[in-house]
Structure 1
């Protein structure tokens, strides 16, 4: 049952990405990951500046929210993202439906699809595939 749910969630995300009417833009630039904030947010260095990145389409349990307690499995989700991105570089894909906001959310975080530079692993999907997060179909 658990595997069926994971497969369904993964398919929903992939279908959402494939059937999205907007063209997604992939950046050719690679950025060094500075640190992981939580299971769906990390910081990269862009032109010498630390930029907070929020993964599009993924929601993980909260571990650093100022108004919430640490949720169940939040630390595991955060540790998994650290496992994926420590000492790595990434490149990004962007959803063009958010281009008018310069690909940022209301908190100023860059909204992106992240790909690990070394092997092009689609980080957003991998978090969901491995059960550390859920498909999130709206912007944070």
Structure 2
């Protein structure tokens, strides 16, 4: 039983360490506004779901524009990312940084009105403010009087 608890503690420490490690990769694909494919240093393709943001589905208004925005920001660039979790599809949820680490992709998407601050999974006051500003100024998808959040659209 002691070995079992030791193993659990070891796995917990590995998980915490991994989730806080900054990794580097090249963006080789954009699936949609909040999902990208990267190539790591071992030439493994990894799908990353962006943390703290939810963008319109491809078939929703602004879905194509959100995908294009993400592509314009990071496609074929080397990025840094921190894995924060794994979603139910096995994708790594990650905070993605680019342009010499000065830009946080999820924040840029929200500021540009190309997505929602995913409040269900994030309590960031800064991201909430960016969304409020985009709404007030009718930037991006906020030109629509009643944009439908992707998780509601999928139902």
TM-score interval, normalised by the smaller of the two chains? 0.5 to 0.7
TM-score (norm 2): 0.61
Indicate the RMSD between aligned Cα atoms, in angstroms.
2.3
Partner of 2:118: 136
- Distance, in Å, in 1 between the alignment partners of 2:54 and 2:46 is 19
Matched pairs, number: 105
Q: Is 1:56 the counterpart of 2:51 in the alignment? A: yes
Residues 29/117 of structure 1: CA separation in 2 closer, same or farther (3 Å cut): farther
Residues 26/89 of structure 1: CA separation in 2 closer, same or farther (3 Å cut): farther
Render the CA deviation track for 1:104-123: whole Å, top value 9, x for unaligned: 11101110110015343100
Instruction: Kindly indicate whether the alpha-carbon contact (under 8 Å) linking 2:83 and 2:92 is maintained by their aligned counterparts in 1.
Output: no
Highest relative contact order (Cα 8 Å, sep 6+), 1 or 2? 1
Q: Which has the larger radius of gyration?
A: 2
TM-score (norm 1): 0.67
| Structure 2: gaps of 5 or more residues | 1-18, 122-150
| Structure 1: gaps of 5 or more residues | 1-24, 64-69, 96-102
- SS state at 1:29 partner: strand
Q: Is 1:38 the counterpart of 2:32 in the alignment? A: yes
- Distance, in Å, in 2 between the alignment partners of 1:26 and 1:117 is 20
Specify which structure has the higher proportion of helix: 2
